Amino acid sequence: TVLDVAIKMLEDKQIEVREAAKKSLTSIFKSIGYNHIGELFNKFKSLTRTNVKKKVAQLTPEEIIKRHAGVLGMISLVESSPYSIPDWLPDIINEVASHASDPQPIKSTVQAAKREFHRTHQDDPYFVQKFTPDQLDALKTSSTYSYYA
């Protein structure tokens, strides 16, 4: 299916292809709905768990690509729901935020995703209510977003 092809393209060696795949997945998720969010989240999260016993700085280029693929997949889920915060979104954005210290290009991808998330969701009057205190702390401590910028 188109969904399977786009997910596979998240693991391409070229970063531009991976980023284009993320954009495609965001559009696909917007159009097909959210019936399989849990399954997709687990699939993407498993990609980020490549060789978790290794220190992040010791990851091979292939492991970085795989981890980046998982992060991009999770970001596509988050970005498919702009301006609203469904129940599943806080867990996913916090998992994305947990990769803020990963090597490049993951780090810059996470920073950009968090800026976009804050831009599109900060005006939601129920923002704080949708997150647990621990989730809010995780977003704050790993945030590169500034309200004064």
pLDDT band at 149 (very low <50, low <70, confident <90, very high): very low
Q: Residue 5: what pLDDT?
A: 96
Enter the pTM of the model: 0.87
Instruction: Report pLDDT digits (tens) over 91-125.
Output: 999 999 999 889 999 999 999 998 898 888 877 77
Q: What is the 3-state secondary structure (H, E, C) of the chain?
A: CHHHHHHHHCCCCCHHHHHHHHHHHHHHHHHHCCCCHHHHHHHHHHHHCCCCCCCHHHCCHHHHHHHHHHHHHHHHHHHCCCCCCCCCHHHHHHHHHCCCCCCCCHHHHHHHHHHHHHHHHCCCCCHHHHCCHHHHHHHHHCCCCCCCC
